[in-house]
């Protein structure tokens, strides 16, 4: 275990990021338990070296080589820690694959995460950006998580309120960025679960198929079908899902935007009005554009893709052009959803 953690040098990260960028890390190690992680952090050789924790690598863009230690979290395990008549507390190792875990829950008949089917990445990454899709966000089923303090090696439990969840946001992207490593996540799933079918793409699909009393398996199957039709599979085409967040603008900004563009799609949000970034980008004519190996996906303007040998700088260059053109046409600022390292 601890002493045998192999630390590789000048390690190629292509296989460890879904954008498929061939950045290198000075040091690289995979850990399979919180204890192994703690031992690695205590090693004097790496004490002062910058560290980057990687889960599934599905929300990260390497702009450069990483001159430090990349720690790949390979902490596995799925355990039911509480079961009542109506709910299950399910503790998952942070290195478990998110989608595999969703499918496992559906097989057991546990509801709550079916709308989050086919999201690439690991369980440990899910709370960091409060993953969301088709009307559901992780925080709705989140019970707690355990995370290791990188400075002290102490394992701490975070409850819902401690995580300060927001839209694609949590304390781990802000105050505690780079300070903790999530080692497990506990979900609160329901046996008799109320489905969420409000998201338009989903309700339309249900109607199209004539499904009036869907099961959690139906919802999962439909979400998978919708995602496959719009979003590229990272195993076939490098990408990190949505590259930008959907901007939330003020009522005043929205009035101005609507005056010039009456057809602008919009959704009420607790902090203002949410505008789909995909629409803004699409209107600027970016969908399907390609510069060398960096491109904008043909089916979803919010997804940037790597056709093979794009560098992080190529993708960032394209993202910058998109951001500038959206700003010029709509005076709306886009911010990246992916972590740029
Ligand atoms: N649209 C366009 N052009 C496009 C694509 C979409 O005009 O090329 C329009 C659609 O017509 C629709 C609107 O944009 O009016 C929204 O599109 P969609 O329903 O596909 O969702 P999204 O806002 O682009 C968000 C999440 C996705 C999530 C889907 C489904 C963000 C940043 N993205 O995308 O999450 O899967 O909703 O819930 O919130 C991710 O985070 O990586 C991700 C893929």
241 Cα nearest atom in ligand 1: 42
Kindly state the tokens that stand for 3: 């002493």
β-bridge pairing 60-61 and 339-340: parallel
| Radius of gyration for the chain, computed over Cα atoms and rounded to the nearest angstrom | 21
* 122 carries an active-site annotation: no
pLDDT(25) > 60: yes
HEC string for 225-282: HHHHHHCCCCCCCEEEEECECCCEECHHHHHHHHHHCCCCCCEEECCEEECCHHHHHH
Helix (H, G, I), strand (E, B) or coil at 142: strand
- Give the bridge partners for 190, in sequence order: 87, 111
Residue 42: the pLDDT is 87
For the question of residue 168 being annotated catalytic, the response is yes
From atom 29 of ligand 1, which residue's Cα is the shortest distance away? 133
Reported as a pLDDT band with limits 50, 70 and 90, residue 273 is very high
Is the minimum distance from the CB of 129 to ligand 1 under 6 angstroms?
A: no
Q: Is the CB of 246 under 6 A from ligand 1?
A: yes
Query: Is 204 a residue of the active site?
Result: no
What pLDDT shows up at residue 279?
A: 98
DSSP secondary structure letter of residue 194: P
The helix/strand/coil state of 10 is: strand
Please say if the pLDDT value at position 238 is more than 60: yes
65 lines ligand 1 (CB under 6 A): no
Q: Are strands 155-159 and 142-149 parallel, antiparallel or unpaired?
A: antiparallel
Catalogue the E-assigned strands of the chain.
8-12, 24-31, 51-54, 60-61, 66-73, 78-83, 87-93, 132-133, 136-137, 142-149, 155-159, 180-190, 238-242, 248-249, 267-269, 272-274, 290-291, 294-296, 303-306, 339-340
Q: What is the pLDDT of residues 50-65, one digit of tens each?
A: 999 999 999 999 999 9
Distance CA 233, CA 120 (A): 9
Residue nearest (by alpha carbon) to ligand 1 atom 34: 242
Q: 126-159, pLDDT tens digit by residue?
A: 999 999 999 999 999 999 999 999 888 899 999 9
Domains of the chain: 8-73 (3.30.43.10), 78-190 (3.30.465.10), 238-340 (3.90.78.10)
Nearest C-alpha to atom 37 of ligand 1 is from which residue? 133
Nearest to 124 by CA among 154, 152, 103, 145: 145
Which is the catalytic residue, given 38, 168, 227, 323?
A: 168
């Amino acid at each position: 275990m601890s002493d045998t953690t192999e630390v590789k040098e000048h390690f190629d990260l292509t296989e460890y990021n879904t954008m498929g960028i061939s950045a290198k890390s000075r040091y690289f190690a995979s850990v399979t338990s919180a204890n192994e992680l703690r031992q690695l952090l205590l090693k004097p050789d790496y004490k002062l070296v910058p560290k980057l924790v990687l889960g599934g690598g599905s929300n990260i863009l390497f702009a450069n080589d990483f001159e430090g230690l990349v720690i790949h979290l390979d902490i596995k395990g799925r355990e039911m820690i509480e079961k009542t008549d109506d709910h299950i507390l399910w503790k998952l190792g942070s290195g478990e694959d998110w989608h595999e875990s969703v499918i496992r829950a559906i097989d057991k008949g546990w509801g709550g995460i079916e709308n989050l089917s086919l999201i690439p990445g690991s369980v440990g990454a899910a709370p960091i950006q409060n993953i969301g899709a088709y009307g559901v966000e992780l925080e709705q089923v989140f019970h707690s998580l355990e995370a290791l303090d990188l400075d002290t090696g102490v394992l701490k439990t975070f409850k819902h309120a401690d995580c300060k969840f927001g839209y694609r946001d949590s304390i781990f992207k802000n105050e505690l960025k780079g300070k903790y490593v999530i080692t497990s996540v506990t979900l609160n799933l329901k046996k008799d679960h109320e489905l969420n079918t409000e998201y338009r793409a989903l309700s339309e699909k249900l109607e199209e198929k004539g499904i009036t009393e869907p099961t959690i398996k139906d919802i999962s199957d439909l979400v998978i079908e919708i995602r496959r039709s719009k979003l590229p599979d990272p195993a076939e085409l490098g990408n990190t899902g949505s590259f930008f967040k959907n901007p939330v603008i003020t009522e005043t900004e929205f009035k101005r935007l609507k005056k010039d563009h009456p057809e602008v799609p919009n959704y009420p949000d607790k902090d203002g009005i949410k505008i789909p970034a995909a629409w803004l980008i699409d209107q600027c004519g970016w969908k399907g554009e390609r510069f060398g190996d960096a491109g904008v996906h043909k089916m979803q303007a919010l997804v940037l893709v790597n056709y093979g040998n794009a560098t992080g700088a190529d993708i960032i260059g394209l993202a910058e052009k998109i951001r500038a053109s959206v700003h010029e046409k709509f005076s709306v600022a886009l911010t990246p959803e992916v972590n740029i390292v």
